[in-house]
Amino acid sequence: MRPPSSPRGAAMLLAIVAIAILSALTADLAYETQVRLRIATNARDELRAEALAQSAVTVSRLVLGFQYQLDQVMGAGQTAGPQATPSAGGQAPAAPSLASALPHPQIWRIVPVSSALTQALFGGPAGEQTAPPGAPGKGAGPRGDQPALAAASYGDFEGGFSARIEDEAQKVNVQLDSFATSGILSAQVDAFLRMVCDSRWDPLFDRSDADGQRYSRSDVLSRMKDWVDPRPSVASSSAVSFPGGNCSPLVPSNPFEDGFSDKNYPYDRGPDRYRTKNARMDSLDELFLVAGVSDAFMAAFQDQLTVYLPINGTMNVNADDLRTQVRIALQWVDPVSYLQLADPTVQQKLHERLALYSSNGALGITFATFQQALQDLNLKLRSDLALQQKAFTDRSLVFQVRALGAAGDVTHETLAVVSFDPKHAAPADRPVQTLAGTGTLNLGQLIHWREE
C-alpha cells in the first residue's frame, strides 16, 4: 500500500505561478501606459507644431503686409513697359540710367521669418539653431530648403518655426485663361514651352500612359487649356510652331485654335472616367487630373508652376534664379540674339549683372534695369518690346508661404497662398484681413490653405 503524498511545496508552486502572471500583467500595463503616454505626448506636440506653423504663416503675412504698404507708398508696380518708339534699326530705345530708376526694397526677401525673429523682436531667450528630427534642412532640395529652426521658449515648452516665402508671379502660370487679346496668354505659353523644351525632358513626353496615350509638349499645353476653358466640349489645338526645334517656339498672339475633337475624350478612357472642369483650377494639385500630366512631370516642374494668379496675372521680372531670368530674357530679346543667349557664359553674366543691380535680391529691379542688363551684354532687344512687356510686372501681389512648425519630435508643414491683388474677389468667409482690425495694415487674403 502506497503512503499518502505530502502537500508540502504546492504553496511555492502557486506563488511562482501567481508572480509570473502578475509580472506579465504589470509589464503589459507598463507598456500600454508608455504607449498611451507617447501617443498623448505626440498629440500634444502635434497641436503645438500646428500652432507654430500657423504662427509662421501669420508672421509671413505681417512681413508681406509691410511689403505691400511700402510698395503702395513708393507707387504702384509697373504693369506695362515704357511706351517709347523704337529707334532706328529696330533697336529699342536705351534704358534710362539706373540712377533714375527708383529701387524698392524687397523686405520679404531680407527678413527671415522664424521663431528667432519673434524672439529678437519681442524678447525671450532664443535657443540653439538646430533642425528638429524629420525637419528639412539646407540643401535638402527645392522643396526642402527650410532654414534651421531656433528652439524658443513658449511658456512650458520649447519649439520653433520657420517659413519660406515664394513669389508666385515668378513662376510659370499654367492657369491658361488669360484673354488672348491681352498678350499675356502668349507669354504664358512661351514661358511654359521654354521650361519643358530641353532634350533631357524628352522621356516625359515620349512615354505612353496607362491608357496607351502619348502626349507631346503641345498636347499637354492644349489639355491644360481645355481643363479651364468654360466651353463644355470644344477642344483646343496649339497654334505654336517650332521652326528651329523644341526650344524655338514661335507663339502667335492667340496661341490656341478650336479643334475638331471632343476635349473629354482623353478622360473617357480607363476605369475611372471623369470630365474636364471647365473652370479655373483651385490648386496646383489639380494638375494631376489633366491628361498628359504625370507624376514624373510634376516631380520635374511642380516647383516652377503656379495656378494662383488672377486672370491676366502678369509675370515678375524680379526672378532670382538663372533659368527664370533666361526665360524672361528670351521673351525680351530679338531672335537674332537667341544663339548668343544660349551660351552658358552669357547666361551666367546676365545672372551676375542682375544680382549686382538688385543687391542680391534685396532691392527690386525695374523694367529699365532688366533692359539695361541685357544691353550691357550686347543683346539686341525686340522692336516691339513695349508691347511684350505688358505681360510683365516688377512687383508682385500673390505669394506662397511654406511654413514649418516643430515641437518635440513632431513637425507640421502648412502651405498658404496670400493675395493682395484686388482681382481676387474676397468671399464673405475669407475677407481681406487687417492688423488688429484697425485697417492700418493689409494682411492680404488667404486663397489657398493646405496642411501636411
What is the tens place of the pLDDT at every residue in 98-153?
333 567 889 999 989 988 887 777 765 544 444 444 444 433 333 445 555 666 77
CA atoms of 369 and 194, how far apart (whole Å): 23
Q: Given the DSSP bridges, would you call strands 150-154 and 234-238 parallel, antiparallel or unpaired?
A: unpaired
| pLDDT for the residue numbered 34 | 87
Interacting residues of 313 by C-beta distance below 8 A, sequence separation 6+: 169, 173, 175, 178, 184, 398, 421, 423
- Per-residue confidence at 411, pLDDT binned at 50, 70, 90? very high
Query: For the residues 348-373, what does the mean pLDDT come to?
Result: 92
Across 250-284, b (16+ Cβ under 10 Å) vs e yields ebeeebbeeeeeebbebbeeeeeeeebbeeebeeb
| Residue 423 resides in a domain | yes
| Residue 418 resides in a domain | yes
Q: How many helices (H) and strands (E) in the chain?
A: 12, 13
| Residue 72 resides in a domain | yes
DSSP assignment of 214-236, as one string?
---HHHHHHHHHHHH-SSSSEEE
pTM of the model: 0.81
Which residues make beta-bridge pairs with 258?
236
pLDDT over 60 at 191, yes or no:
yes
The answer to whether 144 and 136 are in contact (CB under 8 A) is yes
Angle at 320 between CA 360 and CA 92, to 5 degrees: 95
Orientation angle between helical segments 367-376 and 322-332, nearest 10 degrees: 90
Which residues make beta-bridge pairs with 315?
392
| Residue 285 resides in a domain | no
| Residue 376 resides in a domain | yes
| Residue 261 resides in a domain | no
How many domains does the chain fold into?
1
Beta sheet of 150-154, edge-to-edge order: 126-129, 150-154, 157-167, 398-407, 410-419, 442-451, 433-434
- Per-residue confidence at 437, pLDDT binned at 50, 70, 90? low
| Residue 226 resides in a domain | no
Q: Is residue 258 within a helix (H) or strand (E), and if so which, with residue range?
A: strand 256-262
pLDDT over 70 at 363, yes or no:
yes
CA atoms of 291 and 370, how far apart (whole Å): 37
| pLDDT for the residue numbered 92 | 41
pLDDT over 60 at 244, yes or no:
yes
| pLDDT for the residue numbered 137 | 42
Instruction: Quote the mean pLDDT of the chain.
Output: 82
Query: For the residues 65-92, what does the mean pLDDT come to?
Result: 59
Count CA within 13 A, CB hemisphere, residue 168: 27
| pLDDT for the residue numbered 398 | 95
| Residue 242 resides in a domain | no
| pLDDT for the residue numbered 322 | 92
| pLDDT for the residue numbered 434 | 65
CA atoms of 182 and 173, how far apart (whole Å): 15
| pLDDT for the residue numbered 25 | 87
Its domain, for residue 131, covers 25-174+307-452
Angle at 285 between CA 178 and CA 404, to 5 degrees: 115
